Amino acid sequence: GQQVQQSPASLVLQEGENAELQCNFSTSLNSMQWFYQRPGGSLVSLFYNPSGTKHSGRLTSTTVIKERRSSLHISSSQTTDSGTYLCALEFYGSSGNKLIFGIGTLLSVKP
């Protein structure tokens, strides 16, 4: 089955509203990463978060390993936040790092 599940699949907000994106995983892992995928496809790393809470500007990531979940909170959303947000489980070992991605949450922020 799917190892990484993201919800919601899509989200439409009015500018200024907050967003909560969820990522649930079904396997143990080394860490969790959140990415923003630009409409052209390139990735922007938002958080490397193995556990606990991290902040970056209007973004907050919280990972609770024992509950197998991670969340991304976007406060005071802006139209430039529109795009796809991906979470990925990270495993690393003798074969290097491996990321298993979720399908993403498509965020649309209206002016």
Binding site for other proteins (CB under 8 A): 31, 33, 40-43, 45, 48, 86, 88, 90, 92-93, 95-99, 101-104
Q: Would you say 1 or 93 has its CB closer to other proteins?
A: 93
Tell me how far CA of residue 54 lies from CA of 48, 88, 95, 96, 110, in angstroms: 9, 16, 28, 25, 27
Shortest Å, Cβ 42 to other proteins:
4
Question: Sign of torsion, CA 17 39 85 106?
Answer: positive
Q: What would you report as the CA-atom Rg of the chain, rounded to the nearest whole angstrom?
A: 14
Q: Would you say 26 or 92 has its CB closer to other proteins?
A: 92
Shortest Å, Cβ 9 to other proteins:
11
Which residue is associated with the tokens 């922007």? 44
Shortest Å, Cβ 97 to other proteins:
4
